[in-house]
Amino acid sequence: MSERQVPTTVEQRIIIRFLVGEDVKNTDIFVRLQKQFGECLSRAAVFKWAKAFKDGRKTVENEPHDRRPRTSVTPDNIRRVEQLILEDRRINVRDISAEVGISIGSVESIIHEYLQYRKITARWVPKLLNFEQKFTRLEFVAAYRSDTRQRGTIF
């Protein structure tokens, strides 16, 4: 049988539910969780979950809820950000944000997570080169070497 990984927060909620069932004080529950896990749920979170279990809650999972849809990280905005970076590799996040009309955090998310760029010496460069970029660099180096050999300079 394979062992399924349970998130630490859910594991701690299971323990809270168990200890609430044994009528352990909220403060003692918090202290025991700190001893067991070191870094655990906050004191307020422990008290909130203990109250919920005392009031009859049975589940330890978060209730499903609708989240606000992400409206700024769209394929269109990703293309626009990439186009701006390719036009000017020295453009900064604030200028991209103003140009595209989305928040700075969304621009940073697009640049780092979706486009895989990072800033080096004030220029945006890809984190990893794709095959075409590697091939272009190889061709450039080969052409440079043949040019320097023809002129008699040492590479």
Dump pLDDT digits (tens) for 105-114.
999 999 998 8
Q: What is the distance in angstroms between the CA of the first residue and the CA of the last residue of the chain?
A: 62
Q: Is residue 122 pLDDT above 60, yes or no?
A: yes
pLDDT of 116: 86
pLDDT of 108: 92
pTM over 0.85: no
CA nearest neighbour of 49 among 63, 38, 39, 37: 63
Burial class (CB in 10 A: 0-12, 13-18, 19+), 101: exposed
Between 49 and 135, whose confidence is greater?
Answer: 49
CA nearest neighbour of 76 among 108, 104, 102: 102
Please give the share of the chain, as a percent, with pLDDT higher than 90: 48
Give the residues across from 116 on adjacent strands: none
Q: How many CB atoms lie within 10 A of CB 85?
A: 20
